[in-house]
Chain A
């Protein structure tokens, strides 16, 4: 008999891990207007910023079978590294990572969180993309990105990703603002469409998989404004070769922050920005999490103007399965992150695939991202 594993004693004692650590935002670097990002250098880590993440979401196919996957690597600065950190057991940077895989055929959602301090078992390279946490790893190898991930002894995936379109940088003058405070901003770099192929080990099966993914890399020192309690975000990949990145930042009073954005990306990678008042995000399809009790609107309807035609369009995001909640273990953050189909409300046709993310329903994420 193996000893039952659950142990929260230490966690409870520490009172939960805050995504951000000590050190006032002022001590950290802030995104600067007009700053020109350079690549591949800026695909790498920026430890002078407090919060950074490399966020991969996508859709995989093996014959008739379909899966959604997520691989996220967070770097959470605890203090600016003014004194050198312990090489093996650093405490200036904490690395958190999430892996998830949804299998609509069985209804299983596999996910795991991992937390490590900078050192021998987690880290992110400066100057190029190479980030790891335990056996989970994302790195740039030539033109490819290579991702290794697993969920306990249930799932393992090894994927090679190749940018189908060049990267885009969201925001005005190189920075993406999230609130009126100057600090609530980020550098927001995205590969909106990556071709994926690789292997997926699931249960007894070893599957050759292929599909499409989306990758965000955001660098900031404070992501949200104090009044904001969470966001709804989605990455749309239309069959016609265009994409949308859109989000609404929700405020405590229930209103939508004017800093919410929706951006159309055309086939050539040109961006069309739409402000909060130019699109609507209508909450629909409530799903209550049996684990956290949070109620998520998992089938939102988004109304926006198609820059190609100037016509008003309505898209319904329909999740491939309801239970795609990433339950925060030690990170203390629970959110819904799941694969969806995009349905054109006018024609009722599936016109693409999306990944939807909803935070701040199970807990107030703003406190953790200050």
Chain B
């Protein structure tokens, strides 16, 4: 027994009293406040979780589509550039004479629906449907085969009328496809492949297999030679997959295939991967984008933490008399702190559980938007269903609980440390965090933040740079600004006094003149929320401004021609020479820029190679925006080969991904062997994140033996009506996309906004939380000054006047929070645009502040705060007078 304690109560009894007197009673008295706090925490957790889940689901469908049909391969052989010729299969067979590996050649071709040429991307996968059966046989010894029933209805023969073999007009789809496009067995789809229209019949819907990944909802499976015929690529393969059967010699067989195929790949300019390598190297490309979303989602939670901290502070103040009584009864400070922390635990658990449930729902809405962005900017992916793992649940629970405990810790300490006598004194300006008063510390933090912003990025993995310095700078700036915001109180208070203030405005100004910890904390919370949201707005505005400028300069032709297909980096559809030559030769066409795009891999990084030839008119040809301009300009400079070295321009993202610059040599793999390129210029490109290298099409035609085009910009003769000419061309070539300049601009901007849809949603949630928090904080502030309000009333102030005083005070805090937030956003925006963005994406943006949006935000914040202040003041005035009576 502790003799020093005057209390004779056992600790369990103390706990029970603390719980019922301090926490439970409070919750019962203010159920709405409790609900709002739990709600805020759960929203923070939900947003954080939903972005994590949606990120995962959006990229997990990265396409090695045969996986969903035949299971995972051990190795993948693919060309560094172009297609793999079918003849190589005999050589591969020769190399693996004595290996039991199953070898699956695959051809993939993109397409679109004929009646929706810019609609969803379709992915045709051609596999050898006969050999695919062997996946069933190469499993374990206890394979029971299809069993006696499976052939009972067997009318499908490989040969004969129903066969899929070699057929260019018969496909199989998965259940997801059938559902998405409302089709069934026997349906006929009209599709576009390259610039041709074709009809394919759905010969069957593949049933879902619980052991395999879902068959993506845009995949059409065909017999390989059938797809070769449909796509008119008779001898082409996209890749060859190898699967080592199971058994005691698995490791040895795998090693053997790996070694043989590695040598084969190196000797012939091919690439050999394991599926995991391939997936991780590809999905790493979007890692920065996904990380940014995750961090942005943390914003809502951070603001939530501020709010909980404020609310808990308010609770400490509200329950001071109870604390004092308890202290005098002998309850120790540690016990009081523990009671507070327990409250935090309960908040944390409740909020997290609700947040996890809500997050799961939010993720479903978000996954589509993220997948669309990844498809537009990075690589082809399909969304898979959201899966919430036990690990994820625990992580979020810990995260929510941690946030809640962090927010409770300071108020709990304050509650436990305040001596009983002081606790009983109502109305003392307590509360807040003492550190917020130390403005020099704020300066130090900001200065340190600026220092961190200049750190180079942190390398994690081959493709991934993390702008660690940038993130640190942002965090320090947030904390620094939270402290420095205290300096804004006096000027704003003076502002309130200007003119001829009435007594209530005077009163409010005097409150702000001597801000308490609570004032500081409220303003800081608001400033952080506004600062972060406004910084994102700066980023988006800068992006939009840069992009619009880029599109404006880039799109100078009168019309644009491309094969049909979705706006996706995975769209490989092309225009045949017959089509583009006819357009080029048609009446009214003055000239064209031609581009053929290929996918190539250098140093393990996949990017686009563009073969371009430009309209031979020094004024009217596609002129890029230069980051590092070439020495010579003009439509023909790319054709000037110096001995065996070809000049090439690279995009900014490629320069970053390959760590090269103007003057660097690059060796390109091509079907005609490796070719030397010297980088002669670096241009800006915002259309994709993979990066592009442009060389003259004169060379790519030689290397690839290919006359097809990916797209073409068309310049009309003077006086030609662009709209009319485009309409005529569209009619003449229904399977291709012909768009006027204005139309293409419009679409580009629409896609841009679509890309930022998630960002907008996250911002809106952060602002919503911040405004809710302002209301809560005001309620706390007024409560703290119950006695003062009572005095105001006793000297004759009406309830409306008290409400008015609260309104002025609240508006004043909002102005301070808003000003602080905007100032903070200038710095955060700078860090985002000049540090985080170039380091993680490699895009140079011009800094742009959306003044209009900022003004709107300011008006909205101050008005909302005024209104909330008035309502809260009105209510509190009523309560207080009741109590006084």
A interface residues with partner B (beta carbon < 8 Å): 2-18, 21-23, 78-79, 86, 88-89, 91, 94, 108-117, 119-121, 134-135, 137, 148, 150-156, 201, 203-204, 291-294, 327-330, 332, 334, 362-363
**Complex Cα distance A86/B128, Å?**
12
Chain B nearest Cβ from A90, distance in angstroms: 8
B interface residues with partner A (beta carbon < 8 Å): 67, 69-72, 86, 89-90, 93, 96-103, 128-141, 143-148, 150-151, 153-161, 163-166, 172, 204-207, 209, 211-213, 223-225, 244-250, 252-253
A154 CB contacts on chain B under 8 angstroms: 141, 247-249
> With A16-B151, A332-B151 in contact, is A134–B100 under 8 Å at CB?
yes
A112 touches B137 (CB 8 A): yes
8 pairs of residues in contact across A and B, judged by CB atoms under 8 Å: A6-B139, A13-B172, A13-B206, A16-B156, A18-B158, A151-B141, A152-B247, A363-B151
**Complex Cα distance A292/B225, Å?**
35
A330 touches B146 (CB 8 A): yes
Chain A minimum-CB-distance residue to B174? A9
B72 touches A330 (CB 8 A): no
A18 touches B249 (CB 8 A): no
B144 touches A135 (CB 8 A): no
B156 CB contacts on chain A under 8 angstroms: 13-16
Chain A nearest Cβ from B723, distance in angstroms: 47
Pick the contact of A330: B133, B157, B224 (CB < 8 A).
Answer: B133
Chain B nearest Cβ from A11, distance in angstroms: 6
B151 CB contacts on chain A under 8 angstroms: 15-16, 332, 363
B143 touches A6 (CB 8 A): yes
Chain B nearest Cβ from A202, distance in angstroms: 9
> With A12-B150, A154-B247 in contact, is A88–B136 under 8 Å at CB?
no
Residue with the highest number of chain A CB atoms closer than 10 Å, among B71, B128, B145, B245: B145
> With A3-B212, A15-B154, A21-B159 in contact, is A115–B133 under 8 Å at CB?
yes
A11 CB contacts on chain B under 8 angstroms: 133, 136, 146, 150
B139 CB contacts on chain A under 8 angstroms: 4-6, 152
Chain B minimum-CB-distance residue to A87? B86
Chain B nearest Cβ from A23, distance in angstroms: 7
Chain B minimum-CB-distance residue to A294? B148
B69 touches A10 (CB 8 A): yes
Chain B minimum-CB-distance residue to A117? B130
Chain A minimum-CB-distance residue to B167? A91
B144 CB contacts on chain A under 8 angstroms: 291-292, 327
B160 touches A21 (CB 8 A): yes
B103 CB contacts on chain A under 8 angstroms: 121, 134
A111 CB contacts on chain B under 8 angstroms: 141
A152 touches B146 (CB 8 A): no
B211 CB contacts on chain A under 8 angstroms: 3-7
Pick the contact of B71: A5, A14, A89, A119 (CB < 8 A).
Answer: A5
A330 touches B248 (CB 8 A): no
Residue with the highest number of chain B CB atoms closer than 10 Å, among A86, A204, A334: A86
Chain A nearest Cβ from B566, distance in angstroms: 27
Pick the contact of B146: A12, A89, A115, A156 (CB < 8 A).
Answer: A12
B157 touches A18 (CB 8 A): yes
> With A2-B72, A94-B130, A362-B148 in contact, is A7–B136 under 8 Å at CB?
yes
B244 CB contacts on chain A under 8 angstroms: 153
**Complex Cα distance A94/B165, Å?**
11
**Complex Cα distance A67/B48, Å?**
62
Chain B minimum-CB-distance residue to A108? B141
B147 CB contacts on chain A under 8 angstroms: 292
Chain A minimum-CB-distance residue to B141? A110
B128 touches A21 (CB 8 A): no
Chain A minimum-CB-distance residue to B100? A150
A10 touches B225 (CB 8 A): no
Pick the contact of A152: B100, B131, B155 (CB < 8 A).
Answer: B100
Residue with the highest number of chain B CB atoms closer than 10 Å, among A9, A114, A362: A9
If A152-B138, A153-B247 are given as contacts, then 15 extra A-B residue pairs at C-beta distance below 8 Å, sorted by A number, are: A10-B132, A13-B206, A17-B133, A23-B160, A78-B157, A78-B158, A108-B141, A115-B134, A137-B97, A152-B245, A153-B244, A153-B246, A153-B250, A156-B100, A156-B249
A115 touches B207 (CB 8 A): no
Chain B nearest Cβ from A217, distance in angstroms: 23
A3 touches B71 (CB 8 A): yes
B67 CB contacts on chain A under 8 angstroms: 3
A113 CB contacts on chain B under 8 angstroms: 134, 137
**Complex Cα distance A112/B247, Å?**
12
Chain A minimum-CB-distance residue to B155? A15
B146 touches A8 (CB 8 A): yes
A23 touches B159 (CB 8 A): yes
Chain A nearest Cβ from B481, distance in angstroms: 47
A86 touches B166 (CB 8 A): yes
